[in-house]
Structure 1
Amino acid sequence: MTEVLQGAAATRQALISTALKLFGEFGYNAVSTRQIADMANANIGSIAYHFGGKPGLMRACAKYVIAVMEQQFGHSALDPIPEDITRAEARKELLDSLPILITKITDRQDAEQISAFMMRHISQPGEAYDILYEEFLQPLQIRLSTLIGRATGRDPASEEVRVLTFTMMGQSTYLRQCKHTVKRSLGWEQLGPDEGKMLLKVLETNFNALIDAYSVD
């Protein structure tokens, strides 16, 4: 059951939701606090009250995105990999993560706004990027590199494994973030369960092939 916010909590969330949409669509510098407050039906002074100003609101948006992503991936998805994990177990855990990597950010109403915010700010160095990187992207990348390293028998911290990690992440990220292009190119009306199974099958084949190609004794 979705919690209904009231009073100051509702105002705070309305400001975050509005800023998330505007920052993602137009960028931080192109949006004024007046625009955010007006669209959120809030007093402009509430931005300073809740966040200390526009920079604080940007940080709150980044933290909100991370909280949503952790909710979908699960907090354990960012935890370190056990030292005693076997190659077979590492491969299985990597493949088991694929459905989460390519599906949308849950069925929440602000899924598109979260994706837009992520895409804009992970491509632009700044405070929001630093928060997204240090608290979500880097831990996720380290976890996936560790799994790939253990599955292939290579050093997870090596440059080769880290490059391979980004290559594998790129495949799933494109399918997730560019779903409209995928649907239009393939003539699909939706990305439903059947389409998802097809994409997963191809990704599993690709991931297995890459693991096999890079495996060492």
Structure 2
Amino acid sequence: MKNEEGKREKLIRAGIRLFATYGYDKVSIRQIAAEAGVNSSMISYYFNGKSGFYEAIIKEVLQNFDEFIGILETKDIDPREGFKLYVQAITKIHYKYPPEFVKLVYREMLNQSEAFNNLAVHKFKRNFSVLLKLIEKGKTMGIFRKELDNEKILLMFASVVNFYFLAKPLHSMIIRQDENFTAGYLEQVVKIFLHGIEVGGNEKA
């Protein structure tokens, strides 16, 4: 069973590298199998062809958000901790997949595939809704400033966190970075962000 899971994981990682580098149309099932070191029949067996395989990659990536969103939906946590959990979830995703993962994200942002539109947009809307409720909860508790727009708060935070990873291939050429640097940077982002949206000592909720 573990061997089968290992082959599936190899295919997913190989698919991310190839689709990110060459695009969906220019990648063949044979190339994917060769990159993963498995028989090409495995793609039909596991994913029912190339389109099913690409859809599986999108699903695989999106499933990484389920645990994080589930915690926000089912547990009574401090809204500030919710933002920290978001950062942890995004960080885990980018460390889990090959470096080419960023290119795949760019491709989908610029030219969305049918699989992305069918799967990701709905998932992101749900996640966005849960996070907006988290912000509203913070306002109700007197933690966050009530005059700030919830959608703008969330868009600002998500943009800053995600852009760090999306632009990393460029800025890492200028500033040396390892996992400790990334963790420190994101910790500072959260600290500055929360300082900006929290009710100050002299302000009334």
Q: Would you call these one fold, judging by a TM-score over 0.5? A: yes
**Aligned equivalent of 1:52:** 48
Structure 1 pair 194/35, CA: closer, same or farther in 2 (3 Å)? closer
Q: CA deviation at 1:27?
A: 1.8
1:75 equivalent among 62, 67, 90: 67
Structure 1: tracts of 5 or more residues without a match: 155-159
User: Aligned pair 1:167/2:156, yes or no?
Assistant: yes
Aligned to 2:119: 131
- Select which of 34, 38, 43 maps to 1:38: 34
- Distance across 2 between alignment mates of 1:133 and 1:19: 21
Conserved 8 A contact 2:68-2:86: no
From 123, 126, 140, the counterpart of 2:127: 140
How well do the aligned residues superpose, as a CA RMSD in angstroms?
Answer: 3.5
TM-fit CA distance, 1:107: 4.8
Give the corresponding residue for 1:149. Answer: 136
SS in 1 for 2:105: helix
| Cα 1:75–1:101 shift into 2, 3 Å | closer
Take 1:10 and 1:184, find their aligned partners in 2: how far apart are those partners?
Answer: 33
Report the Cα offset of residue 48 of structure 1: 2.2
Corresponding residue of 1:100: 88
Query: Could you tell me whether the CA contact under 8 Å between 1:102 and 1:175 is conserved in 2?
Result: no
C-alpha change, 1:37 and 1:138, in structure 2 (3 Å) is same
The equivalent position to 1:62 in structure 2, one of 58, 72, 77, is 58
In structure 2, relative to structure 1, the CA distance for the partners of 1:210 and 1:181 (3 Å cut) is farther
Q: Give yes or no for contact 1:104–1:176 (8 Å, CA) kept in 2.
A: no
1:204 aligned onto 2:191? yes
Q: Choose the corresponding residue for 2:180, options 193, 197, 200.
A: 193
What CA distance in whole angstroms lies between the structure 2 residues aligned with 1:55 and 1:216? 54
1:21 paired with 2:17, answer: yes
Amino acid at match of 1:201: Q
How big is each residue's C-alpha offset from its partner over 1:28-60, in whole Å with a ceiling of 9 and x where there is no partner?
122122322332333333322322111101111
Q: CA deviation at 1:172?
A: 0.7
Post-superposition Cα deviations, 1:116-164, rounded to whole Å, max 9, x if no partner, equal 43343244322332323333x333322221122222359xxxxx42233
TM-score by length of 1: 0.69
After superposition, the Cα gap between the structure-2 partners of 1:180 and 1:21, relative to the gap in structure 1 and judged at 3 Å, is closer
Alignment-mate amino acid for residue 25 of structure 1: T
Aligned-residue offset at 1:202: 3.9
Partner amino acid, structure 2, of 1:143: V
Is the Cα contact below 8 Å between 1:78 and 1:140 reproduced in 2? no
Do the aligned partners of 1:78 and 1:143 also contact (CA within 8 Å) in 2?
no
Give the length in aligned residue pairs.
195
Counterpart of 2:26 in 1: which secondary structure? coil
Q: Which amino acid aligns with 1:34?
A: R
- Distance in structure 1 (CA, Å) of the matches to 2:8 and 2:104: 18
